[in-house]
Amino acid sequence: MSLSGLGLEPLPAGVLETLGRASTASITSELFKLGIRHSFMTGVDPLESNTRMVGEAVTLRYLPFREDLNALQPSSLPEHPQRKTIDNIEKGGILVIDARGSLRSGTLGEILMARLKARGAAGMVTDGAIRDVEGIRGVGLPTYIGGVHASASNTVHYAADAYVPIQCGGVTIIPGDVLVGDSDGVVVIPRKYAAQIADQAVYHDDIEVYIYERITGGDSLIGVYPPNEQTVRDYESSKKNR
């Protein structure tokens, strides 16, 4: 199984690149206008500051460890959901692990992260913990996590399945949803809205730079933030002159 095997319509050309220039704050604002109020993950933070990430969600679901089930699923098996998903992730995919918010063991470590990087993955996200932190920093793949714990995943987790709807950080993720990460964290964009909001989110960021300059220059908030029609016209005029 892979994203390409799910029969998803390809995203329009340039959408991921455009979203990669937008902040998660502006994306959440644009999604809110469409009625999507729960899009930003809670308790999932970047491992490194100034991290940027954009890609399509590849989901992996962990359940609590159960002795009889884990005994039937050694990681050496080719069909082990965790190993198979990581070993076959496609370029631009972001591995998203539902760890139920449990921080009592790592969800993966540096070797599995290195395999994701080698496959061309765009990042990894979990509301659980990771292990081998310094090694993962060395891999250099954008990483968003709930915490750090040195124990192996199979002390607490059972890798149940992949390419299914999951939750992560309190947000529902469907395989193929678009994820954007920055220094604030991770926002989940329903795939059908990705193209619709991409340019709007970049515009939102750009006009807020203009507004910030106005406010730091001494202007009042009134009429400037949020911008009234005159402020928008002034912004458009300044944009032409830049």
Q: Mean pLDDT, to the nearest integer, of 89-106?
A: 98
Q: Are 8 and 191 in contact (CB under 8 A)?
A: yes
Q: What local confidence, expressed as pLDDT, does residue 1 receive?
A: 65
Distance CA 119, CA 181 (A): 20
CATH C-level class of 4-192: alpha beta
The 10s digit of each residue's pLDDT in 72-83 is 888 888 899 999
81: left (phi over 0), alpha (psi -120 to 50) or beta: alpha
- Burial tier of 108 (Cβ tally within 10 Å: 0-12, 13-18, 19+): buried
Both tokens of 8, joined, read 């998803």
Using CA atoms, how far apart are residues 112 and 221, in angstroms rounded to an integer? Answer: 49
* R_g over Cα of the chain: 20
- pLDDT tens figures, 11-50: 999 999 999 999 999 999 999 999 999 999 999 999 999 9
Q: Which residues of the chain form CATH 3.50.30.40? A: 4-192
What's this model's pTM, rounded to 2 decimal places? 0.95
Give 180's strand partners. 54, 187
Which DSSP symbol is given to 79?
T
